[in-house]
Structure 1
Amino acid sequence: MDPLMIVVAFLLGFLVRQVGLPPLVGYLAAGFVLNWLGFAGGETLHVFADLGVTLLLFSIGLKLDIKSLIRPEIWGGASIHALLTVTVLGVAVFCLSLAGVPFFSELDLPKSFLIAFALSFSSTVFAVKILEEKGEMGALHGRVAIGILIMQDIFAVLFLTFSLGKIPSIWALAVPVALLGLRPLLFTMMDRSGHGELLLLFGLFVALAVGAAGFELVGLKGDLGALIVGILLAKHEKSSELAKTLMGFKDLLLVGFFLTIGLSGVPTIAAIGVAAILVIAVPFKTTLFFMLLTRFKLRSRSSLLGSLSLANYSEFGLIVAAVGTAKGWLEPDWLVIIALALAVTFVIASPLNTMADMLYVKYREKLKKFETDTRHPDDQPIRPKGVSVAILGMGRLGTKAYDFMYEKYGDEVLGVDFGKDKVLEHRVAGRRVIHGDPTDPDFWKRIERQDIPAQIIMLTMPKHQANLSAARHLRGLGYEGCLAAVAHFDDQVEELRKSGVDAAFNFYNQAGLGFAEHAWSFLERSRQEELQG
């Protein structure tokens, strides 16, 4: 990769972050700037991009509960949305062809529906990046959005299989049995890979060799293999650690993916105009997602945030267009047009997702009119009683905090987490933990005022933005009790304090202090024993 690409990508990513936008917007802009400067993507950059997408799907699999895909809001929402989107956009594109609009005029009815199918997908890469940065992968809207995207990925894989005429090998039938047979071995290898670079290599080995290469060997899509192998390992206790270990490497490779979008071609003025027409269809897609999710009994807030994370076009749309171009069904210009439309939707969707909670608060009353009378099981009102201490985020740190506070306050301690499986595990262990999303502006409003903890709320969620968001919501609601939160860096501590947190602790500093105190007390006991002996 040319060093200039790295320089431009870093500078533009850095600049857009300073104005509150995700760095991926800068990477997209870098691709267009490099394109304008005459740079071509090159084979190395495309390899990086492909590896990034493969590892992304593997990481999704590591966090996925396969049972979630059978939920009506996921399989029903994805299927109905795809059917309606392809139908409406297909008819609209064909009408534009009858009107003689440039580029559209060459499309007949089947080609119009092919374009509509390419536009029906939303970007897995974009949604996961946005949800990870906001710490909302485990929230209801995050789980629903990811589930819908996986269903869309399955639709895309089926299309590629049939359109390419690539019939899977007879050995593909043995894949489920082979994977189940390999699972104990992979679990053992994962256990014995430690916590350093060997665990990272294990992740690459499983995702790229066992998953992607193994599936391609029997005529199946490699990315699908990475996703399925990730799902296979999801129940292992180190799956979360593996996902975190891969995160930095995966994110670096995905920079190549965003650069390739901008480098995919030089658009003409006419192509830019057509791309603008395609972008106009995104509000239809987003509104349709919102309407469908509310019909499946999600609250308006969950429906809005889920819909905004899907408010774009997808890298799979580019793949569909590439297949159509290779088959001679579409002119090559359509690949550039869809790439440009994809990039523009990324740029528009990024600030919308950043401002999602503000938009919800502003239009809350209007949006609530679309809610159904009954609620989704995960969106029920919260009615805790007699709570003095609340722990928001019941991971390892939150669990330790809960157990310590329980010794002081007993049953007046309440834990909150948005992971349903985690909540169930804590309840089985005897802890008082409820399911909820503390970053939701409505979360505390769904609790009676007298039930909001009077003494202290501890923010122990793993993502800084999640703790920051919860603190702002609580102070905005007039909560006057003590707020405590953890952070990983000193600048995060300062940001939490400015947002109303009374006691903000640098996790690493406090861990070092606790370790030193523990070692010192051990040393003192040893000395006392020697003196007494």
Structure 2
Amino acid sequence: MDFQWIAIALGDVTWISIAFVLGLLSRAVGLPPLVGFLAAGFVLNAYGITSGVTLERLSDLGITLLLFTVGLKLNLRTLAKPQVWAVTGVQTGVTVAVLFMVLTVMALAGLPLAADLDWPQALLVAFALSFSSTVFVVKVLEQKGEMKSLHGGIAIGILIMQDIAAVIFLAVSAGKIPSPWAALVLLLIPLRPVLHKLLERVGHDELLVLYGFLLAMGGAELFEMLELKGDLGALVLGVLIANHPKADEMAKTMLGFKDLFLLGFFLSIGLSGALTWETVAIGVLLTPFVFLKGALFFALLTRFRLRARTALLSSINLTNYSEFGLIVAAIGISSGWIGNDWMVAIAVALSLSFAVAAGLSTVSQPLYTKYRNRWKRMERDDLISDDRLLDMRGAKIAVIGMGGVGTGAFDMMRERDGDVVVGVDIDPQTAANQREEGRHVLHGDPSDSDFWDRMQAGHSLELVMLALPRHATNMAVLEQLKAAGFTGRIAATARFQDQVEALEEAGADTVFNIYREAGAGFAAHVVGRNAERDAGQ
């Protein structure tokens, strides 16, 4: 029996262990684990360890899955908004131009690494630094429960536009002449209903994961066979099923696998070159320019008729450099356009930018609240319809969060008190669906201080019921209600006893423990139905 695989496994355990420890330390200080993975690569490089076949395959698969999940999130209606495509285009152009000039000045000043750059190389590095991190932003929005907020949707849309630009660069940089059979990829379009039908049949478990891998890797392999960039094939297959109701579920299912395999990519970055004083110095010098990116995003988004708060939160999310920049740099290195040291310098700038972005994300709400008058002076008067504050129209009861629990609460209160109930949901599609079913539901962000300030001036609310899925969001809404001087009753939902205690301390009059009370409700329902059945007999 061949035991060679044991030696390979033991070697892999070493770098996996180091990556795990440094990733854990990174998370402990509030940074994404990928910062620790980059550091692990530098540590391994310092001990003379080089990238092996296993790591390279993990890296390739991680990039393929990344592009597939980008395709799954591609919403053409969101991308069609000028706040997305126009802002992305202008911001990318200005950022590339400014960073190109900065790198040119560094070259003229004779700084290490920069002194050897010619203008095409400087342009490539500036382009790599113009992206913002999809991985970082998605993680932050998911942790805050803001993926479906307006500012979250705008940020994700901009990131997808940037990712598309990166994919186009990857396809062009491959330098391949497509096969005469390349036009056959158009046959994937009529195949779309078949792909959707299969997605409906695979269920919600391991077959869903396997189908995702099949689409991502199958699309990549098909495009490679036709002399097209394989990663582009993964993106196209993701786009083909992006509007299916289960596409979001597949994206969430694939997220963990994508992050796991991207471990190989981030480790390989650290292993690709030594961490020197020169690369660290250049990385440190490039880091402050993320503030330029954030300021530019804010200025553009307010000019495109978004409220100051929406523009600020979107901009803070985008104030960082991107893992796609590393992918662009890797292409430049493999093509011989730039040296390995620039990959390391960009990795340093990326890691430091995540530290900056993590800090800004933590204080984003207080930052807006403290300087609200200054931010609001930059708003336009003609805001887009999605970002206008709404009128409660005399409602006495507001249900915040119109998921399953919120919908049940809305119906029960309306049945008891009549049409004095209003629902509020952060997801515009959920709000629209609820209105189609006859419920008075508004689209809005209840954690927005402006939302409650405006409502407090004219509403007649006596009871606010918080049915939000995330404890942190419930706490944020409670804080805004207190800040707005709301004097009515507040009820909230929680899943765990420590959350119940925290909500009560924050000012909630009544807290409903979903897990505990659901069991009692279930038992009461069964007893009631049995009593009805016995009475009928």
TM-score, structure 1 normalization: 0.90
Aligned in 2, Cα 1:257/1:108: closer, same or farther, shift over 3 Å? closer
Task: Tell me, yes or no, if structure 1 residue 242 matches structure 2 residue 250.
Answer: yes
Counterpart-to-counterpart distance in 1, 2:72 and 2:407: 22
Q: Tell me, yes or no, if the aligned pair for 1:53 and 1:125 is still in contact at 8 Å.
A: no
> Corresponding residue for 1:151?
161
> Corresponding residue for 2:126?
116
- The counterpart of 2:80, out of the listed 64, 70, 80, is 70
- The counterpart of 2:490, out of the listed 465, 483, 487, is 483
Q: Tell me, yes or no, if the aligned pair for 2:30 and 2:358 is still in contact at 8 Å.
A: no
> Corresponding residue for 2:525?
518
Cα deviation code 1:386-435 (max 9, x no counterpart)? 11221222223322222222212222111112222222222121111111
- The counterpart of 1:399, out of the listed 389, 407, 427, is 407
- The counterpart of 1:415, out of the listed 423, 426, 436, is 423
Following superposition, the deviation at residue 166 of structure 1 comes to 2.1
Structural mapping, 1:155-170, within 5 Å? 155-170=165-180
Equivalent residue letter for 1:238: K
> Corresponding residue for 2:6?
none
Aligned in 2, Cα 1:36/1:328: closer, same or farther, shift over 3 Å? closer
> Corresponding residue for 1:80?
90
Q: Tell me, yes or no, if the aligned pair for 2:369 and 2:449 is still in contact at 8 Å.
A: yes
Task: Tell me, yes or no, if structure 1 residue 306 matches structure 2 residue 333.
Answer: no
- The counterpart of 1:353, out of the listed 354, 361, 364, is 361
Equivalent residue letter for 2:506: S
Equivalent residue letter for 2:87: G
Which deviates more from structure 2 when the two are superposed, residues 43-52 or residues 398-407? 43-52
- The counterpart of 1:194, out of the listed 203, 214, 225, is 203
Equivalent residue letter for 2:128: A
Q: Tell me, yes or no, if the aligned pair for 1:264 and 1:339 is still in contact at 8 Å.
A: no
Following superposition, the deviation at residue 196 of structure 1 comes to 2.4
Structural mapping, 1:200-219, within 5 Å? 200-209=209-218, 211-219=219-227
Aligned in 2, Cα 1:102/1:11: closer, same or farther, shift over 3 Å? closer
Q: Tell me, yes or no, if the aligned pair for 2:182 and 2:227 is still in contact at 8 Å.
A: yes
Aligned in 2, Cα 1:247/1:332: closer, same or farther, shift over 3 Å? closer
Pairwise CA RMSD of aligned residues?
Answer: 2.7
Equivalent residue letter for 1:200: V
Structural mapping, 1:301-450, within 5 Å? 301-450=309-458
Counterpart-to-counterpart distance in 2, 1:19 and 1:468: 22
Counterpart-to-counterpart distance in 2, 1:255 and 1:500: 43
Counterpart-to-counterpart distance in 1, 2:260 and 2:28: 19
> Corresponding residue for 2:4?
none
- The counterpart of 1:142, out of the listed 145, 149, 152, is 152
Q: Tell me, yes or no, if the aligned pair for 1:444 and 1:452 is still in contact at 8 Å.
A: no
Dislocated runs of 4+, deviation >6 Å: none
Aligned in 2, Cα 1:36/1:180: closer, same or farther, shift over 3 Å? same
Counterpart-to-counterpart distance in 2, 1:52 and 1:459: 39
Q: Tell me, yes or no, if the aligned pair for 1:161 and 1:167 is still in contact at 8 Å.
A: no
Secondary structure of 1:504's counterpart equals: strand
Equivalent residue letter for 2:504: R
> Corresponding residue for 2:3?
none
Q: Tell me, yes or no, if the aligned pair for 1:485 and 1:501 is still in contact at 8 Å.
A: yes
Cα deviation code 1:190-247 (max 9, x no counterpart)? 22222322223233333333x4434444344444444443343343333343344334
Q: Tell me, yes or no, if the aligned pair for 1:392 and 1:416 is still in contact at 8 Å.
A: yes
Equivalent residue letter for 2:144: K
Following superposition, the deviation at residue 75 of structure 1 comes to 0.9
- The counterpart of 1:496, out of the listed 503, 516, 532, is 503
Aligned in 2, Cα 1:212/1:128: closer, same or farther, shift over 3 Å? farther
Aligned in 2, Cα 1:107/1:384: closer, same or farther, shift over 3 Å? same
> Corresponding residue for 1:270?
278
Following superposition, the deviation at residue 81 of structure 1 comes to 0.9
The number of equivalent residue pairs is: 527
Following superposition, the deviation at residue 74 of structure 1 comes to 0.8
Secondary structure of 1:443's counterpart equals: helix
Q: Which stretches in structure 2 are left out of the alignment for 5+ residues?
A: 1-8
Q: Tell me, yes or no, if the aligned pair for 1:94 and 1:109 is still in contact at 8 Å.
A: yes
Which deviates more from structure 2 when the two are superposed, residues 301-310 or residues 179-188? 179-188
Task: Tell me, yes or no, if structure 1 residue 99 matches structure 2 residue 109.
Answer: yes
Aligned in 2, Cα 1:241/1:399: closer, same or farther, shift over 3 Å? farther
Counterpart-to-counterpart distance in 2, 1:248 and 1:480: 43
Q: Tell me, yes or no, if the aligned pair for 1:484 and 1:504 is still in contact at 8 Å.
A: yes
Following superposition, the deviation at residue 360 of structure 1 comes to 1.4
Following superposition, the deviation at residue 324 of structure 1 comes to 2.0
Structural mapping, 1:39-54, within 5 Å? 40=50, 42-54=52-64
Q: Tell me, yes or no, if the aligned pair for 1:383 and 1:448 is still in contact at 8 Å.
A: no
Secondary structure of 2:492's counterpart equals: strand
Following superposition, the deviation at residue 295 of structure 1 comes to 0.9
Following superposition, the deviation at residue 162 of structure 1 comes to 2.1
Equivalent residue letter for 1:451: H
Which deviates more from structure 2 when the two are superposed, residues 222-231 or residues 151-160? 222-231
Task: Tell me, yes or no, if structure 1 residue 469 matches structure 2 residue 469.
Answer: no
Identity %: 50
Counterpart-to-counterpart distance in 1, 2:482 and 2:35: 31
Q: Which stretches in structure 1 are left out of the alignment for 5+ residues?
A: none
Equivalent residue letter for 2:190: G
Counterpart-to-counterpart distance in 1, 2:535 and 2:67: 57
- The counterpart of 1:132, out of the listed 107, 118, 142, is 142
Task: Tell me, yes or no, if structure 1 residue 180 matches structure 2 residue 189.
Answer: yes
Aligned in 2, Cα 1:462/1:162: closer, same or farther, shift over 3 Å? same
Counterpart-to-counterpart distance in 2, 1:106 and 1:293: 37
